[in-house]
Amino acid sequence: MENKPSRVLLKGGTLLLHEENDRVVPTRSDLLIQDDRIVQINSDIDPPVGTKIIDCTNALVSPGFIDTHRHLWQSQQKGLHCDQILLDYFHSGNLASSHYAPKDVFCGVLSSCMEAIDAGTTTVVDHAHVNYSSQHNKEAIRGQIASGIRSVFCYCVHPRVTTWQPELKLDHQISLDADMDEFRKLAKEKPFGQNGRVRLGFAMDTMFVPPKVLKTAFDEARKHGAHLITSHATQVSMMDNMPSAVAVLNNNALLGPDVLLSHGNNITPEELRWVETAGAHFSSTPLSELQMGHGHPICLKADFLPLSSIGTDSNSICTSSIPAQASTALQATRARQMAESMKNGTWDGTIGPTVEDAFNLATLLGARAIGLGNEIGSLEVGKKADIVIFQGQSPTMIPAGERHPIAAIILHSSVRDVQTVIVDGIVRKENGSLCQISVPADIASNSGTCHSGEEALEWKDVAKLLRDSQSRLEEVKSTVCDEDAARNGLIRSFLDAMAQASNA
């Protein structure tokens, strides 16, 4: 178990408080945390004896950011995908999971979570397509528990690599009995971590999967209490002859308020109505989408905004900063609006989406998208104490933090301005540095706590683990992978799978 003060007082900061209409009102106030909850917000709170006091003078106090689409295991691949499109990423990034031993999964997930916390993210949805064994899954969960982040671990049913040489081949014949048996085992142990902050979700894509198999998997996931079901809704040119994920899910009556669709850049108006009617949501990942060829981010388009949230996709592709993702989406949407006006020979005198819209994507809308709107996403009495504190006097933040705190965070801040991060009432970053973590020996059964035998690690220790893991993976990859052969094999595998799916 983790030791922490039972009470923490944030003193004298500018709190970004949400009103009922989702308007954000900067308010100079104190905020008191007891255990894992916000218990009081007032102008001058007299702290009980033994309270830890954090001086927030000249600081901005925000709800913690919510990353609704991320592949946490990929830390070792950072820098690899900088000049790649989606086709290249599939074999060099996605399918590299076949090289990972369980210890590599733990290291990749742990470092990714800590990187997220460092940037002010307090909750993440992990689309965990690294399921090669029971131990791979347990190590992914153990990494999330150890980091201190709030998460939804979405156990993923996905195609697996069978061979890399002489040609890359995938097994698209999903062994649903074995996969769902593993999910059921995890479901018996959920939730994980102190106060159950690591929830169990489910992930499965519609590509190459017969509808009967898809329906069975979704039904089983719901039966066994999946908090969330997530699926890529990526419709790029290499897949334009396949039905969209939204159409497949809608036609098989699988859409619902527990469904989170990633990307969705080329969704049609009809598909948007289906999603809205079902109460499902989208997660946009602007930086990766703009690079990889997905299309324009949809999250800040007026019709999509109420159903949208924002994510990173992978820290192997881009920054973990959710404000950076939000600002990218904001300016890309504004630019597209102006470009469309110019194309039509008109001039639109409005700016389009606002910084408040972008901020809400990163906080309250994200919470709603993952079914946690009553728990996180805003600073309210009774909600979880998931909070990020920005310094307001740095060269990047002053005087924006005083004039327009939301603009300061979305358009001016950097990771260095994130001074303190609190998750579930526990300080995870303080005075600009990540705090020591406790690593459980195993994941707990039912209790929501960690087994005894915890190891304490500083960030420098995690960094060493990451370097060692990355070196080992590079060596493995160099002996089994030919990039051109892998690319060609991937294309052939996709074509074969599409033909099989169309005949199913």
Question: Rounded mean pLDDT of 259-270?
Answer: 96
Per-residue confidence (pLDDT) for residue 502, from 0 to 100:
61
Residue of higher predicted confidence among 138 and 95: 138
pLDDT score recorded for residue 497 = 66
pLDDT at residue number 448: 39
Which tokens go with 399?
């005087």
Confidence of residue 451 (pLDDT cuts 50, 70, 90): very low
Mean pLDDT is lowest, of 307-316, 396-405, 452-461, for 452-461
128-132, 157-161, 250-254: least confidently modelled range: 157-161
Q: Is the pLDDT of residue 490 over 80?
A: no
Flag whether 84 is in a domain: no
| pLDDT band, very low/low/confident/very high, at 499 (cuts 50, 70, 90) | low
The H or E element that residue 69 is part of is: strand 65-70
3-state SS of 321-350 is CHHHHHHHHHHHHHHHHHHHHHHCCCCCCC
The count of C-alpha atoms lying within 13 angstroms of the C-alpha of 51, restricted to the half-sphere facing its C-beta, is 17
Mean pLDDT along residues 298-326: 97
pLDDT tens for each residue of 69-103: 999 999 999 999 999 988 888 888 888 888 999 99
Residue 309, pLDDT > 80, answer yes
Residue 335 lies in a domain: no
| Angle value at C-alpha 342, between 341 and 343, nearest 5 degrees | 90
Report pLDDT for 498: 64
Give me the domain span that covers residue 27. 7-63+375-434
Mean pLDDT of 25-43: 98
pLDDT at residue 449 is higher than 60: no
Residue 484 reports pLDDT greater than 90: no
Token pair of 26 as six digits: 């900067």
140, part of any domain: no
Residue 504 predicted with pLDDT over 90:
no
Q: What's residue 445's pLDDT?
A: 37
| CATH code of 37's domain | 2.30.40.10
- Whose CA is closest to 18, among 347, 493, 406? 406
Amino acid letter at 87?
L
Query: What pLDDT is attached to residue 1?
Result: 44
* Per-residue confidence (pLDDT) for residue 444, from 0 to 100: 67
pLDDT-derived band at 5 (thresholds 50, 70, 90) equals: low
148-165 average pLDDT score: 91
Is 403 within a domain? yes
Amino acid at 114: M
More confident residue, 306 or 483: 306
Pairing of strands 24-34, 37-42: antiparallel
Residue 29 domain flag? yes
Is 16 contained in some domain? yes
Backbone CA torsion sign across 425, 430, 434, 438: negative
Q: According to the model, what pLDDT value does residue 181 have?
A: 94
The Cα 342–Cα 334 span in angstroms is 13
Distance CA 392, CA 342 (A): 38
Mean pLDDT is lowest, of 293-297, 439-443, 483-487, for: 483-487
For residue 190, being part of any structural domain is answered with: no
Terminus-to-terminus CA distance in the chain, angstroms? 50
What confidence score (pLDDT) does residue 4 get?
A: 65
Residue 57 has pLDDT above 80, yes or no: yes
Q: Taking residues 13-35, what's their average pLDDT?
A: 98
User: Which range, of 173-187, 242-256, 394-408, averages the lowest pLDDT?
Assistant: 173-187
Task: Report if residue 408 sits inside a domain.
Answer: yes
Q: Is the pLDDT of residue 365 over 50?
A: yes
| Number of domains the chain contains | 1
DSSP character at residue 173 = S
pLDDT confidence of residue 95: 86
- Six-digit token pair at 496? 């074969």
Compute, in degrees rounded to 10, the torsion defined by CA atoms 472, 444, 66, 283.
70
Tell me the mean pLDDT in the region 190-211: 91
Local structure of residue 64 (DSSP, 8 states): P
Smallest Cα–Cα separation from 425: which of 220, 204, 197? 197
pLDDT, residue 447, reads 38
DSSP 369: H
**40, 305, 341, 342, 453 from 349: Cα distances, Å:** 43, 21, 10, 12, 62
- Tell me how far apart the alpha carbons of residues 31 and 9 are, in angstroms, rounded to a whole number: 6
Whole-number Cα distances in Å, 366 to 63, 87, 377: 11, 28, 7
DSSP 412: I
Q: What is the mean pLDDT of the chain?
A: 92
